[in-house]
Amino acid sequence: MKFDISTIVFFTSMMFLALTLILFVEYKINKTDKGLGWWVVGTLMQGVGFFLMLALTIRPIRMLSIFANPIVCAGQIAINIGILRFLERKERISTQIVIFALFLAVYNYFIFIKLSISGRTVAISVFMIVNAIQIAVNLLR
């Protein structure tokens, strides 16, 4: 059985969308825990972002794929906010906005000014690392 990148991306998006459904049911059942709504939104955004990556293979809607990675990254921010609210800790939305704005500036630079897939990959990876460190620090405190 041979897997190409489109198949992997498709199944990843379906996994996130299934997870969104599961989290939505949990959100509806358990309204006492804060932050679950943010998890639902973040997971849905990641599923939509991965699904938009497939637009690259369809010529008429190819431009939609530009929004895929920023949507996935915004989903990560929503999950981070959900974790903080679940832990009943104060989140700094301004910090998240600044980090996301810096990511968008670098990401768009490597799309519109200096076309570089490697540059975009580094920008996405650095953003994901920063976000993962933020989540880890928040969970360890």
The predicted structure's pLDDT at residue 34: 85
The predicted structure's pLDDT at residue 3: 72
Question: In this structure, are residues 27 and 62 in contact, taking their beta carbons and an 8 Å threshold?
Answer: no
- pLDDT surpasses 80 at 2: no
Rounded Cα–Cα distance for residues 31 and 123 (Å): 36
Q: What does the longest C-alpha to C-alpha distance in the chain come to?
A: 48
Pairwise pLDDT comparison (113 vs 5), residue with the higher score: 113
The predicted structure's pLDDT at residue 91: 82
The predicted structure's pLDDT at residue 74: 95
Interval 99-107 mean pLDDT: 95
- pLDDT surpasses 60 at 72: yes
pLDDT in tens, 47-61: 999 999 888 888 888
Judge if pTM exceeds 0.75.
Answer: yes
The predicted structure's pLDDT at residue 30: 84
DSSP assignment of 25-36: HHHHH--SSTTH
Indicate the helix (H) or strand (E) that contains 67.
none
